Amino acid sequence: MGRLFFVVLKLLLTLVILGAATWGTGFLLFRLAGATAIVAAIGFGIAALAGLVGIWTSDARLPLGFAMVFVGLLSWWSSFQPSHDRNWIPELARLPTITQEGEVLTVNNLRHFRWRTEEDYDQRWETRRYNLAAVTGADVFLTYWSGEAIAHLLVSFTFSDSVPLTFSIEVRREQGEEWSALAGFFRSYEMAYVAADERDIVGLRTHARREDARLFRLSASAGQARDLLLAYVADINDLAARPRWYNTLMTNCTTVVYHLVGSVAPGWKFSLPLDPRVLLSGYLPSYLQQIGAIRQDIPLEELVRLARIGDHARTLSLDDPDFSAKIREGVPTGRP
């Protein structure tokens, strides 16, 4: 029995070292540059291999040595701090802030760019006011650019007296910086909120990027949508005050929204179970239908077909003030 215990312990320690080695190697490759990154990653891998040898030869010095190296790496990792003060790309140069006076929300730095292509656009930042008493509901846009598994999520709040207000959670890139999903695990990018007019943020994806955009009307009541909007307001202002890292797995366009909805979900008619589809965001429609957040009386395949708004949106001008109303034509409402 004692021998079995030590074998199991060695296996567990092996898994721990392999996990630490994988993370540490990735961190060094993405946070250092050129040959330095490769040399450092190889050296760290050798230290991990020595630790594994020490575990299975009962030489405690070797895994202890690796542990010290890993603690040093963690210390360096923890020294990286997010910032709002960098040379950002223009479309993410400003973060929104929102103030509330009674029933009026004032959104500062609302983005309303006029997109012709991703590189050719007119910059426009606005201040707009929205009436909380006029909230009618909330909708979800999913835009696909590479297969069905991954999509970008936008949440849009509708009003009886104004065009929708849309929020997007983005990787806040610097000028000249390229996006890498793997780099997103290693404190490479800050997170940004974008508050925008749909002619900007949906139009960017339908017109400039020509992505497959799909629109789903949520079953949330006006009161539930208002609660979620105020949860967004609080988090948007918190981010504006305190920068945070984007993380490909834990802090992204769906997981942040999942937590925001979770903060107000006790008052909603559906529960919010954790599910792999929260991470594989392209499959969110089946998850949303399962929990009752979108129509359940329409087969999912038909709901997805009706949700595809990209081709229709591209027939519309982004200068059309009725753009938001027109892209909703033919899309089922959130409730029967």
Instruction: Determine the Cα–Cα distance for residues 276 and 105; give it in Å rounded to an integer.
Output: 34
Domain spans of the chain, in order of start = 2-78, 90-327
Instruction: Give one word for 58, left, alpha or beta, with left for phi > 0 and alpha for psi -120 to 50.
Output: left
Confidence at residue 2, expressed as pLDDT on a 0 to 100 scale: 66
Q: 102-128 pLDDT, tens per residue? A: 999 999 999 999 999 999 999 999 999
**From the centroid of its chain, how far is CA 89?**
18
- Residues listed for the chain: 336
- Backbone dihedral angles phi then psi of residue 273, each to the nearest 5 degrees: -70, 150
Cβ neighbours of residue 289 closer than 8 Å, sequence gap 6 or more? 295, 296, 300, 303
Query: What is the token pair recorded at 207?
Result: 């017109």
- Residue (of 236, 241, 239) closest to 166 by Cα position: 236
Confidence at residue 60, expressed as pLDDT on a 0 to 100 scale: 86
Confidence at residue 266, expressed as pLDDT on a 0 to 100 scale: 65
- Cite the DSSP H helix spans in the chain: 2-31, 34-57, 61-78, 198-203, 222-241, 255-264, 276-279, 284-290, 300-307, 310-313, 323-327
What is the torsion angle, in degrees rounded to the nearest 10, for the CA atoms of residue 215, residue 301, residue 272 and residue 255?
Answer: -50
Residue with tokens 């609302």: 110
The C-alpha angle with vertex 207 and arms to 128 and 155, in degrees rounded to 5, equals: 45
Amino acid at 236: I
Q: 143-196 pLDDT, tens per residue? A: 999 889 999 999 999 999 999 999 999 999 999 999 898 899 999 999 999 999
- What DSSP designation does 191 have? E
Element holding 294 (H helix, E strand): none
- What DSSP designation does 92 have? G
Ranges of residues in the chain with a pLDDT under 50 are 269
- Rounded to the nearest 5 percent, the helix, strand and coil shares of the chain are 45, 20, 35
